[in-house]
Structure 1
Amino acid sequence: MSRWTGTHGLGHTRLSTESRVDLSHSQPFWAHGTPDLAVVHNGHITNYHRLRRMYEQEGVRFYTENDSEIIGVYLARQLAGGRTLH
C-alpha cells in the first residue's frame, strides 16, 4: 500500500445475492460521470429491474448486473441535474 497515493480508500466485502459472482461485478461502483463518487452497498434494491430498464431506455450504460450499481447511476444523474449531497 505504500506505493498508493491519495487521501481516501474504500474496502468492502459481501456475498452476491442478486447477480452472479464475478470479479467484474465487485464494489465499489463509481458513479458514471462523477469520478470522485463511489458507492458501496450491502442490501437489496427491490425496484432495480424497473429502474435499470428506465435508465437504459434513456441511454444509460450499465457495466455490471449488480443491483447496487443503480445507486451510482441515480446519484450521478441527480448531481448532473444540480442537486447536492448536502
Structure 2
Amino acid sequence: MKMKTKIPMRQCTGCREMKNKKEMMRVLRTPENEIILDATGRKNGRGAYICRSMECLDKAVKNHGLERSLKTGIPQEVYEDLKKEFEELDK
C-alpha cells in the first residue's frame, strides 16, 4: 500500500480560499520588518500567502488581510512594489 503524501495547504489572504502552497505567492515580513515577495517560500520571517492573481492582491489590500497575517502595518509603497512584481509574474 502506497502512502499518500500530504500536500501543504495555505489560505489566501485575499479570497480566503485554501489552496496548494506551491500555487501561491508568499509575502514575507523579515526579522528586519521589510515586506518582500518570497518566490522560493524558504526565507526566514513571518509569511502570508496570496493567490497569483491581481484580484486577490487587491482584495488583500482592501480587507487588510496581509496586515493581519503579517501582524504589521504595510505602507502604500510596499503595495505598489508588490503590484509591480505581480505584473512581472503575469508576463
TM-score, with structure 1 as normaliser: 0.26
Greater relative contact order: 1 or 2 (C-alpha under 8 angstroms, separation 6 or more)? 1
TM-score, with structure 2 as normaliser: 0.25
